[in-house]
Structure 1
């Protein structure tokens, strides 16, 4: 009310000052008082410029339409603190706050959690009711916490009440992030045992050009003063003052050393300077814009009467360069467009106190340039086991691991588990692992994807060499047996067992052994087509020959009976016709397979861990099993017929050998199906080759080895006389 009245005695709704009209108020009151008087200034439309209040509520232009400030809003402070935490990887913090800062603390908490951080505790104390006896319990809570970073979100003197308490020893091995609103002292008392563990956010403070000279030379008598102001000026006469601001004056009384005499920036002088010059420039812009307007200049009193509400418009849009060449303006909320300096408070052993600017945060700077920090100039306390200190609820998860949040605990408290098979993580503290591309596989550490090893059954590997050797061995063995049969083609045992069918069977078995070699080596389009079709057709010829042999044995027995009509069906043409007709059906099946969905080379990336298997895809599984099914059908018919004819007279009986050979053949291929389906990778090819070789060798051994034994080692049994006996050897 004194401000509005213009005199010491308050007179509501009257202005008694004759020296001039009040244009605006520049104040440095605490936030609570600034909010209270703002409601009065709003009634009269007086602009209010604060150089101290950072209260975020006052950014509300609806409730505080005439409020401006030359310090940033606390909203920006919260974001700056979060950026500092992220830079050092401090994801586990504690917060100590004053009761009056609850709203700002809530915003800080939300910002920390949104950026992946967690808060171990929030301690709120009432500034007015906090008793000295509460400090011990308060510090024990801090000391027993697992976090290494404490955010102290309090204003002015409350911070120093905590730091200067006798329980200060509990600050050991904790980093403190504070709001530093005081000026910077240049010295400290060594016996206080202060530690280099504090990073402070402070409104940008700078020395104004020629301001120190003004302080030294100005006559305080010319300035408004009271007891405290006079004491401030007298304090500058002390010999301990810095030379830049020490005044030359005679003071008769002894002075108590005042803190402002040992400071670097003279309090909030920079913010006051910007506020005063913003107001001056707004007034200048208003006057210059109204020059020439006769209605406004018709009388001095009329102009002054409308000054406050008009000035508000120009303050909102004021832009100028201050004495340091910096651009000064207000944003849409009336906040000045400057940021914060980040200070490292360093206490040297000789009592010197330094304040190193290690970084800054300016929310109005372009993205990527808003936050800067220089870790090299930070001085850390020697108590820290590592620098910069770490503050995490759980140790970092190395690449190759992912985080698994513990149930019922904050997201920052987690266990590290290895990535699952086929997945990797190449970042520290990865929330998830991701699958490698199909042609790649995790390395041993599971922190990078590497190309999969390409594999197939090659001729160079031991298994390929073994199978190739076995195939060639049986091929040569069959060729030798064929040579023996040709050499002894006119002997009774060769003639009695249908010589032509034996030749066809032996040649087809030779091809069976050779066709297994097609399955070995790098698959390509040609070999994939030949693998299954050649195998199916050649085996069909072999089984057709065996079926024809079996039918021939039965027909030969019944043809010997008197008056039998089967005599005219005896001969090689009938036998060959059976072979051709049965083989033709298989050829038709294979051609239909090739024309519709032929086999093709395929890169199988899933059958075997960490490898790409080059294999032949059947194209149509149905066609593949139809070919196998037809072979099974031929083998089954041959087995049944041979089994029924096993007791025919021995002179014509080859059925026993065929029965046993079909039993071996069927057992091999019945075992093949489940084994093939349960095998992965190139071993599927090995299983199929083994089935081909085993079944072919079974036919060769069961049908032809006994005959070769008689031909070579029992020639006396290879005679017509021996075969015509009613009791003779098996053929």
Structure 2
């Protein structure tokens, strides 16, 4: 302060011809002493300039620089503010002093704790620390500063594990208790709002250094080699605050008593200057000194600019304070911090320490708060089925689109696999193989029958209907292939109509053969001419009529509400089933029901004809084949309804193949066996032997 005043007194531009006087008091950081000093300021002296060069005469105090602490500054301000004496502190940072209702005369060149608290919270957030401890001096500075910090930390989503206070005059047990709280804590970062003296005592306790072992000054030390905070001139931050405070007051007085600029500046030494005038002008000051801008806002606070310093230990063992960055509150949000050097952390590590209650929840999980604990303590729960999260530490998971499904990590949605019975599936290959084999078997059987078409066994069993039945069975086997492959609009319509029509054609042929057997034996009765009314033309007409009815049903179904391809998203959550919707379920069940009626009618007639004599009587074979046919399709209904996804198609193909093979083997296998392996039975004599007996 003395240096600044002497520099001003020797300055020809600032207060030319006027010299500033001063009185320096030591408050000893104690409120009673500070109050005693304040009362001395208030002694009544004439507010005039001394006309001589001797400033030893005390005049009225125009302004006060100080105090260093917030609590003494509060006491001083309350005493001198009624007299409008301005007070400029260089180190009192309590945010409460920004309240102009209570402290209208208070200014400071150091930023308010409110800015410090906000910048500290942003600094903690910048390094990713969410779980910290807090210690403070049990004073106005510590309590108010920490209260502001806790509010700012809460806004930044930072949790405080503990917040403890102490004072340097507290018993050793109290200091030790605070140190034990820090040692037991899970937090690796501690934010402190404490004075130098308080923090020194706490650090000594934490390092278990005994203060009694410190060397006490005895007056014989060499000041050039003495290492202390008072002899260290490398860190002049606080000194610079005093320097700016003195210059601010000088500029205020200059603006009150001087007029003109530079060379033409004239100051009225005879003016009666009041402290209130200095107070008014102090609110307006705005100047630069040695590269530092000095001004005050409406609350008497300067622009908040902080240096970010780091204790760094060199190889020589010396620890020095190194500036590693800057915080400027005047910069845009998010750009306040500028860190331009590496920071040394614990044990000279350059890696930022991690201080969190719970490790970050990775993508694919969500945060679930732990009951009774702060928001920074949570469990990481895997996203629910069908939902994902690709953000770290997210509290929510988002559902995938209906045609997408989460991957195994549940951090991204991938297209659901599309499933249908394809020719590449093992099931598809097996069913297609049996379908082709069945068709080949029917064709070979037709070839055998055609080759032996003049033999008694072929002629006795209505060769025309037999060939038509073999053709229809070939189509039945082949129509099952339409159920394999990706469903499309045309394949869906084809598979159901082809199935319905070919099976009706097949059953119609079997029905015709059954009726022929019955009519043939009726015709052997005396006076009966029934066979004339059911000859080959009538047989063909019967098959055509039954088949035409099914064609008509299928046509109406296709016109009104045909089957169509759909993506089934409900049966399985994790995949899409590509299948054919029935369009009109009524149409499907009418087609199936019509086949069932014909099969039941054929079965009844076959049962009636099963005991008629004849070695080549087909009624027994038809009865057994219809029994298999009906059993297959009766069990098909519940299996079809309950089978999920592509297995619905598998059940339908299986029913088609099983019933087709049943008809094929039951009706034609015995005849082929006789034709190929028992030719002695393929004679008219054997045919008539049972009747003769």
Confirm or deny a common fold (TM above 0.5).
yes
Give unmatched runs, 5+ long, in structure 2. Answer: 1-22, 25-36, 50-58, 262-266
Would the alpha carbon gap of residues 29 and 517 (structure 1) be closer, same or farther in structure 2, given more than 3 Å must change? same
Structure 1 stretch displaced more, 99-108 or 604-613: 604-613
Provide, for residues 671-711 of structure 1, a one-character-per-residue CA deviation record: whole Å limited to 9, x for no partner: 44454555555454444333322221122112221222233
C-alpha distance in 2 between matches for 1:333 and 1:556: 121
Range moving further from structure 2, 492-501 or 17-26? 17-26
Tell me which of 314, 337, 360 is aligned to 2:326: 360
Aligned residues: 637
**What is the deviation of 1:131?**
0.7
Q: CA RMSD in A?
A: 4.4
SS at 1:96 equivalent: strand
- Match of residue 76 from structure 1: 115
Distance, in Å, in 2 between the alignment partners of 1:356 and 1:589 is 93
**2:224 is matched with which residue?**
239
- Within 5 Å, give how 1:417-456 maps onto structure 2: 417-437=381-401, 441-450=405-414, 456=420
In the TM superposition, what whole-angstrom CA distance separates every residue of 1:643-693 from its partner, at most 9, and x where no partner exists? Answer: 455445557853432332233233333444454555555454444333322
Asked if structure 1 preserves the Cα contact closer than 8 Å seen for 2:73 and 2:92, the reply is yes
1:373 aligns with 2:412: no
Aligned partner (choices 535, 543, 566) of residue 571 of structure 1: 535
* Aligned mates of 2:241, 2:181 — CA distance in 1: 37
Which residue matches 1:656?
Answer: 620
User: Which position in structure 2 is the counterpart of 1:264?
Assistant: 234
Distance 1:643 1:354, change over 3 A: farther
CA distance in 1, matches of 2:481, 2:191: 75
* Aligned-partner SS, 2:654: helix
In the TM superposition, residue 476 of structure 1 has moved relative to its aligned partner by: 0.9
Q: Does 1:344 align with 2:310?
A: yes
Counterpart residue number, 2:189 = 149
Q: Supply the distance in 1 between the matched residues of 2:259 and 2:610 (Cα, whole angstroms).
A: 126
Q: Give per-residue Cα distances to partners, 1:317-345, cap 9 Å, x unaligned.
A: x5544431x55544554432223222211
Gap change, CA 1:412 and 1:8, over 3 Å in 2: closer
Task: State yes or no: 1:323 paired with 2:290.
Answer: yes
Query: Contact between 1:722 and 1:728, CA under 8 Å: does it hold in 2?
Result: no
**Where does residue 547 of structure 2 map in the other structure?**
583
Pick closer, same or farther for the CA change 1:332–1:309 going to 2, 3 Å: closer
TM-score by length of 2: 0.77
1:141 to 1:306, Cα distance in 2 relative to 1, 3 A: closer
Contact map agreement 2:109 2:301 (CA 8 A) in 1:
yes
Q: Is the 8 A contact 2:457 2:616 kept in 1?
A: no
Find the aligned partners of 1:286 and 1:585 in 2 and give their Cα distance: 116
Does structure 2 conserve the Cα–Cα contact (< 8 Å) formed by 1:260 and 1:266? Answer: no
Residue of structure 2 equivalent to 1:700: 664
Map 1:164-563 onto structure 2 (within 5 A): 164-165=204-205, 167-169=206-208, 238-240=223-225, 259-278=229-248, 307=277, 310-311=280-281, 314-315=283-284, 319-324=286-291, 327-331=293-297, 333-348=299-314, 350-373=316-339, 377-382=342-347, 387-437=351-401, 441-450=405-414, 456-460=420-424, 462-554=426-518
After TM superposition, give the deviation of residue 475 of structure 1 in Å.
Answer: 0.9
The answer as to whether partners of 1:240 and 1:262 remain within 8 angstroms in 2 is no
CA distance in 1, matches of 2:339, 2:93: 23
Distance change >3 Å, CA 380–CA 668, structure 1 → 2: same
Return the alpha-carbon distance in structure 2 between the equivalents of residues 578 and 48 of structure 1. 120
Structure 2 distance, partners of 1:157, 1:357, is 22
Distance 1:539 1:379, change over 3 A: same
Given the superposition, is the C-alpha separation of residues 12 and 418 from structure 1 closer, same or farther in structure 2, using an over 3 Å criterion? closer
